[in-house]
Structure 1
């Protein structure tokens, strides 16, 4: 099992707009294709204006297949176009659980 940890830094003043757009348009497409969302978080203390989402996949091949299907979806392309100018930075990490990681994920 692998975990994809995505951090996006949103331009100042655009967070509420982005969250509304994501919930209405982005999340449904991602849930349709990517499957297991472990969590979606907004920063409160520390670096501000950040959102983090963590997705769970069976393997890198599973992730590749699911993301390819999402990239072929016109709804996903429409959502990506609506985000132009929203982000100032993006970081993606692929992680594996430690041997004592909870198995309920």
Structure 2
């Protein structure tokens, strides 16, 4: 199992619009393609204007296959034309749980 930890730094003032647009137009598409979302968060201190989400995959290959499925959806591409202008930076980490991690 791997967990993708993805962070988007947004333009100041766009957080609420980003979240609203994603929830109404993108959430179902992304969950349908990627599968299990472990969480979706916003930052309160530290790096502000950030959206962080965690996704669980069986393997790196599973992630690649699911992300290809996501990007083959025309409605996802349309949504990204709305969301991309709000994003200043994107970071992604692939994490594997330690042997004692409660998430396994």
Calculate the TM-score normalised by the size of structure 2. 0.96
Q: In the alignment, what sits opposite 2:28?
A: 28
Coordinate RMSD, CA, aligned: 1.0
Distance in 1 between residues matched to 2:23 and 2:85, nearest whole Å = 18
Aligned pair 1:44/2:35, yes or no? no
What is the CA-CA distance between 1:26 and the residue it aligns to? 1.4
Post-superposition CA distance 1:15-70 (Å, at most 9, x none): 11000000011111111110100000000011100010000000001011111111
The whole-number CA distance in structure 2 between the counterparts of 1:51 and 1:72 is 23
- Name stretches of at least 5 consecutive residues in structure 1 with no aligned partner: none
In the alignment of these two chains, the number of paired residues is 104
Alignment of 1:3-82 (within 5 A): 3-82=3-82
Runs of 4 or more above 4 Å deviation: none
Q: Partner residue of 1:102?
A: 102
Q: State the match for 1:2 in structure 2.
A: 2
Q: Which has the higher helix share?
A: 2
> Any idea what SS the aligned residue of 2:66 has?
helix
Moved more, 78-87 or 9-18: 78-87
Paired residue secondary structure (2:63): helix
